[in-house]
Amino acid sequence: MTEKEKMIAGKVYNSQDSELVAALNKSKSLCRQYNNLDFSNVAARKVIIDELLQEEHNDGYCVFTPPFWCDYGFNVKVGKNFYSNHNLVILDCAEVTFGDNVFVGPNCGFYTAIHPIDAHQRNTGIELAKPIKVGRDGGFGGGVTVLPGVTIGNNVVIGAGSVVIKDIPSGVVAVGNPCKPIRKITEADKLDLDDPNI
């Protein structure tokens, strides 16, 4: 197996492999170009995101508000109606998947990379990565961090500043460090749109 194949398969890999370094450099260059575009230049932003993520996004709203950074891009999969606010960072050494209708607040990070605790091993450049999966209809408050191997269900709201280290089931509000479900989402959570105070 190549080091890239090992990385994608969830095996220990050498992050300093020349193929991976080249892919990383290309991704960072595309991110820089994207972040330097005028925000009103929607067509140019779409071209870069499609190249970065290696898929076309023609079937629904897809916005990465600059600045946006990722490691490789090819491991990021977004559904329809995806929106992220400023300063999203995705370390996509393993796949990071978002379902339809996901909204991500500012300063959020989704990190699949795992570095060895042992200093000698860490200094050699070996790594491991575990995928992150986010279901449909999700919302993330500002400053949320999602760690390797986490699966978040459908219709979940993660409160601002949370650090998600374990799976979160569907249909809940979850907050904290470590992030834990605090209650189910119910009909009572709908805003009264006729209320003059909102």
Closest CA relative to residue 140, chosen from 84, 89, 186, 190: 84
What is the reported pLDDT for 198? 62
At 153 the pLDDT is: 98
**What count of Cα atoms within 13 Å lies in the side-chain half-sphere of residue 25?**
7
| Portion of the chain with pLDDT greater than 70, in percent | 96
Q: Are 134 and 112 in contact (CB under 8 A)?
A: no
d(C-alpha 175, C-alpha 183), whole Å: 10
Rounded CA separation 134/196 (Å): 35
Active site residue 120: no
* Neighbouring residues of 102: CB distance < 8 A, sequence distance ≥ 6: 78, 79, 81, 82, 83, 134, 136, 137, 138, 139, 140
State residue 164 phi and psi, 5-degree precision: -95, 110
Q: Residue 56: name the closest of 68, 48, 67 by CA.
A: 48
Residues 38 and 94: their CA atoms lie apart, in Å, by 30
What 3-state DSSP class applies to 136? coil
* pLDDT of 59 higher than 90: no
Q: Which of 57, 86, 115, 120 is catalytic?
A: 115
Among residues of the chain, what percentage have pLDDT more than 90? Answer: 88
Q: How far apart are the first and last CA of the chain?
A: 57
Predicted pLDDT of residue 54:
87
Q: pLDDT by residue (tens digit) across 3-22?
A: 999 999 999 999 999 999 99
pLDDT category, 57, cuts 50, 70, 90?
Answer: low
CA distances, 166 to each of 58, 107, 151 (Å): 33, 20, 8
CA–CA gap between residue 76 and residue 57 (Å, rounded): 12
